[in-house]
Amino acid sequence: MRVLIFSFIFSCMNFAQSGNWQIIQTKVTANLKQIYAVDSLNIWVAGDSGYILYTSDTGNSWQIQNYNPGFEINDIFFINSQYGWAVENGADGIDVINNILHTNDGGQTWNSKRFRPDNVIIYSICFVDTINGVVAGNQVFAYTTDNGLNWIEVQRDSATFSNFPVRKVRFVNDTAGFAVGGLFDRGGVIWHSYDKGFSWITDSAYADPFFDMVVMDSVSVLTIASDIERSFPSAVFRTSDLGQSWFYEELPFYGVSTGIDKRTSYEIWGTFGNEFIFSSDAGNSWLTIESPDSILVNDLTFVDSIRGFAVTEGGKFLKYIFKVSSVSEKVVNFSEGLILYQNYPNPFNAKTKIRIDLMTDSYLNLTVYNSLGEVAREIFKGYLKGGTYEFDFDASSFPSGIYPYVVKTSNALSDYFFENKLSGKMILMK
């Protein structure tokens, strides 16, 4: 087991969150524990009584796709809008059983297959592609290479705590994956795999378990340790080298985080009981935010920088309502479908960044001009999905001065027509 690198630095910052949450009642009142969104038009929520619900209009209407009283859905996962899986756990007489549910039509039909052996609990399911996947939980860790028809026990290393329950499995790419879990009052564990989940290595251990993780980029993962008894503070664990080393910071908060995701490359939201735990600087500093009506939030997800969703007790669904800016973000200009932020740093010496929020998929052109109105550099021209983007501008070869920058977007590629056009100014000082 790798040695942890300890860090006890915690900076407390005052900043406002970048959005609020709207409560929507679904068709059910059961406790909803899991959410998975392929995009804003394909969202599934699941929980007690074996409920799986689907919405294609961000929660305005709902379709019940699965219902099985006495069971609960512990995890749900899709690789696209059609292929998905879920884990159903319950009892059959004196036996605790798990059913693996699979759909290839977006959940219109779910096929169920009983997982063996009985008397284990599966907490998580994840697939790399349509045939290779992993299930994990209490006394079970297995992989399949035939879409779940057969399951083979995963090989774990001999490290202490390596056989503790796994709460969540997710993959960073086609081969590298992470798992988190542990037991209350016994310890938390992080594992990684570099071979599609066929074998797992114990990375780190901590006093409290982990329940979810967020993939920050192709090599970085973040997770939060939780204590249900609130006797020990929460802690943030991060790796930026695919699990080769982990850094952690204790936080001045006590509670349990069961779901976590990023809104942007630097803004992270996590559930925290009747609150959210929130960071606006990629996890370096945190605060807690009360949930709407102090409702218990179980899981959340963001499909891009302006669209996020969460599930709660009582069958309620939360929709993220985007606000234009926070204290740490200065908006230069905005229009429907586009937000342009002030470059940072500004003034700058040689290098700076320009941030843009796209509300919809668009063709985009970003150009920097000199003081004479001449094109200094075309930074980007092409098609982008809706989301948040940061563009680097290297002005090492340019003289000091004021440089206007212009961003234009259109739903159709054209050099002559753009629906939106916003501009800002930056100061180069050498």
Which of 268, 293, 322 is the last residue before a domain boundary? 322
pLDDT reported for residue 331: 56
Across the range 319-340, mean pLDDT stands at 65
Indicate the pLDDT class of residue 123, thresholds 50, 70 and 90.
very high
pLDDT for res 11: 32
pLDDT at 9 (0 to 100): 30
* 69-82 average pLDDT score: 97
Same domain, 203 and 263: yes
> What's 337's domain CATH number?
2.60.40.2550
Claim to verify: residue 180 and residue 212 sit in the same structural domain: yes
- Tell me the pLDDT tens digit for each residue of 151-178: 999 988 888 788 899 999 999 999 999 9
Instruction: Return mean pLDDT, the chain.
Output: 89
**Domain boundary residue among 322, 347, 370?**
322
Please indicate, yes or no, whether residues 273 and 209 belong to a single structural domain of this protein: yes
Percent of the chain with pLDDT over 70: 90
Containing structural domain, residue 90: 5-322
Supply the CATH number for residue 15's domain.
2.130.10.10
Co-location of 142 and 218 in the same domain: yes
**pLDDT at residue 316 tops 50:** yes
313 and 164 together in one domain:
yes
Amino acid at residue number 254:
Y
Q: Are residues 357 and 293 in the same domain?
A: no
Question: pLDDT for 248-284, tens place per residue?
Answer: 999 999 999 999 999 877 889 999 999 999 998 889 8
Shared domain check, 408 and 391: yes
Structural domains counted in the chain = 2
* Dist CA 63 CA 54 (whole Å): 5
In this prediction, residue 384 carries a pLDDT of 87
Q: What is the mean pLDDT of residues 28-55?
A: 97
Q: How far is CA 118 from CA 1, 98, 126, 139, in A?
A: 30, 7, 20, 10
Q: Which of 270, 288, 322 is the last residue of a domain?
A: 322
Contacts 24+ apart (CB under 8 A), 182-189: 182/206, 182/208, 182/209, 182/210, 183/209, 184/208, 184/209, 184/227, 184/228, 184/229, 185/229, 186/161, 187/161, 188/164, 188/225, 189/161, 189/162, 189/164
User: In which residue are the tokens 């774990």 written?
Assistant: 156
Task: Please indicate, yes or no, whether residues 252 and 371 belong to a single structural domain of this protein.
Answer: no
Asked whether the predicted pLDDT for residue 329 surpasses 70, the reply is no
Do 18 and 79 belong together in one domain? yes
Task: Based on the fold, state whether residues 247 and 102 are members of the same structural domain.
Answer: yes
- Mark whether 303 and 367 lie in a shared domain: no
* pLDDT over 80 (residue 214): yes
**What is residue 238's predicted lDDT score, i.e. its pLDDT?**
95
Greater confidence (323 vs 62) lies with: 62
Q: What is the pLDDT of residue 385?
A: 81
Mean pLDDT of the 370-381 span: 93
pTM for this entry: 0.76
**In a shared domain, residues 296 and 399:** no
Residue 194: CB atoms within 10 A of its CB come to 15
Q: What is the pLDDT of residue 206?
A: 87
pLDDT at position 2 over 50 = no
Q: Model confidence at 19, in pLDDT bands (50, 70, 90)?
A: low
DSSP per residue over 272-306, as a string?
ETTEEEEESSTTSS-EEEEPGGG--EEEEEESSSS
pLDDT of residue 335: 65
pLDDT reading at 6 higher than 70:
no
Lowest mean pLDDT, pick from 62-71, 145-154, 159-168: 159-168
Higher pLDDT, 233 or 19: 233
Strand partners for 402: 427
At residue 334 the predicted structure's pLDDT band, cuts being 50, 70 and 90, is low
